Copies of this chain bind each other. A is one copy, B any other.
Amino acid sequence: MAYFSFKYEALKDFSQEVFEKMGYTKDEAAIITDVLLTSDLYGIESHGMQRMVRYYKSIKNGRLKLGAEKEIVFETPVSAVIDGHDGTGQLLGHYAMSLAIEKAKKTGVGIVTVRNSNHFGIAGYYAKMACKEGLMGFATTNSEAIMVPTFGRLAMIGSNPLAFAMPAEPYDFLFDASTTVVTRGKVEVYNKKGAPLPEGWTVDANGNVGTNASEILKNIEQKKGGGIVPLGGVTEQLGGHKGYGYGMIAEIFSSILSMGLTSNHTNIGSTGGTCHGFAAINPAVFGDPEAIKEHLSTFLKELRESPKAEGQTRIYTHGEKEVEAIDRILRDGVPVNENTVREMKTICDEYGVDMEKYLGKVEL
């Protein structure tokens, strides 16, 4: 697929206008844009500009309600539950994590769950928000069912990422990963290439090892069975039950503690109902936060400097690849595939945004 490369600042101004034209305020459009473009800067194309069309479609099909008012339905000094009333995932996520941070600064810990939301982008964005305030951050979400539980044949759990971040030098620790072995995005890449999937990623409609990407994706969409397997694989031999367990923890901290819809009931017809969970913890409730940060930084350095496997030159610590991607992409531009550009153009046509003004002339 052909790729275009756009300057980060240009895409940012462009996205700002698009979301404002869709009906968001200036501040709201800025938050949504920042979440999407942070993903692109991290090198996670699947959750960046490419998702603009998804939000556009969700507004059209009624799963996402533009003017939704968020409501705090339960609150204590260490916790809150927010009903998003079908609002925008990024706005609810940003609000909920800010609330968790505020609570953590006062009490040491803040845990906030959200129900009736929509896709919120990358979980890591919210976990990382806490680091900027010197705190540890945690973020999770459920999603449309895509993970087949061990020994099952029907997707019952979402890709259910868990993200965790903690201040460290020279860069923060940032772990953000789906609890499935891979994300749907990776299966889509194989589908586009027409290549067989590596064994151990998916199961077919009967629950057997699957390798046909197009069939798997169609079956998931039509709820015919099959899907992506948990981290650890199809059986228990390589720990599939463990990935399934982590998926459950994501489910508990999003849908269960918010009394929202579990993954198997979300995103069906015009029902959205995605749920999220956020937590912030102040390391200062365990001692001197600077000493703790240095302790973590030392261990991360020991890991990076430990002996490499034959043929390998680096050991990464979590968050390092993202930092390097930011430098590279700010310098070389944000890669956007032609399909996404086409979708962006359709949206611009509807809302009367002059794409060329921001991104120059684009030949499709």
Query: A108 — which chain B residues lie within 8 A by C-beta?
Result: 76-79
Roughly how many angstroms separate A243 CA and B207 CA in the complex, as a whole number? 24
Roughly how many angstroms separate A92 CA and B204 CA in the complex, as a whole number? 47
Chain B proximity mask over A294-320: 1 for CB below 8 Å, otherwise 0: 011001001100111110101111100
A225's closest neighbor in chain B, by CB?
Answer: B307
Which segment of A45-53, A213-221, A279-287 sits at the interface? A279-287
A308 touches B153 (CB 8 A): yes
Instruction: For the complex formed, measure the closest distance between the CB of A20 and the CB atoms of chain B, giving whole angstroms.
Output: 35
B151 touches A316 (CB 8 A): yes
Known contacts A239-B231, A259-B292, A292-B259; A264/B302 CB under 8 A: yes
B257 touches A286 (CB 8 A): yes
Instruction: For the complex formed, measure the closest distance between the CB of A325 and the CB atoms of chain B, giving whole angstroms.
Output: 15
Roughly how many angstroms separate A317 CA and B302 CA in the complex, as a whole number? 38
Query: A314 — which chain B residues lie within 8 A by C-beta?
Result: 151
Query: A241 — which chain B residues lie within 8 A by C-beta?
Result: 177, 316, 318
Interface assignment of A242: CB less than 8 Å from any CB of chain B:
yes
Query: A316 — which chain B residues lie within 8 A by C-beta?
Result: 150-151, 241
Chain B proximity mask over A249-268: 1 for CB below 8 Å, otherwise 0: 10110011111001010000
Chain A stretch 62-81: residues in CB contact (< 8 A) with chain B: 73-74, 76-79, 81
Interface assignment of A291: CB less than 8 Å from any CB of chain B:
yes
Query: A238 — which chain B residues lie within 8 A by C-beta?
Result: 181, 198, 200-201, 233, 238
Interface assignment of A248: CB less than 8 Å from any CB of chain B:
yes
Instruction: For the complex formed, measure the closest distance between the CB of A228 and the CB atoms of chain B, giving whole angstroms.
Output: 11
Interface assignment of A272: CB less than 8 Å from any CB of chain B:
no
Q: Which A residues contact B (CB, under 8 angstroms)?
A: 73-74, 76-79, 81, 107-109, 111, 113, 136, 148-154, 156, 164, 166, 173, 175, 177, 181-182, 198, 200-201, 203, 206-208, 225, 231-233, 237-239, 241-246, 248-249, 251-252, 255-259, 262, 264, 281, 283, 285-287, 291-292, 295-296, 299, 302-303, 306-310, 312, 314-318
Closest 3 pairs (CB-CB, A-B): A207-B309, A175-B245, A79-B285
A-B contacts besides A81-B287, A225-B307, A248-B318, 6 pairs, CB < 8 Å: A77-B107, A136-B252, A149-B306, A182-B239, A244-B318, A259-B287
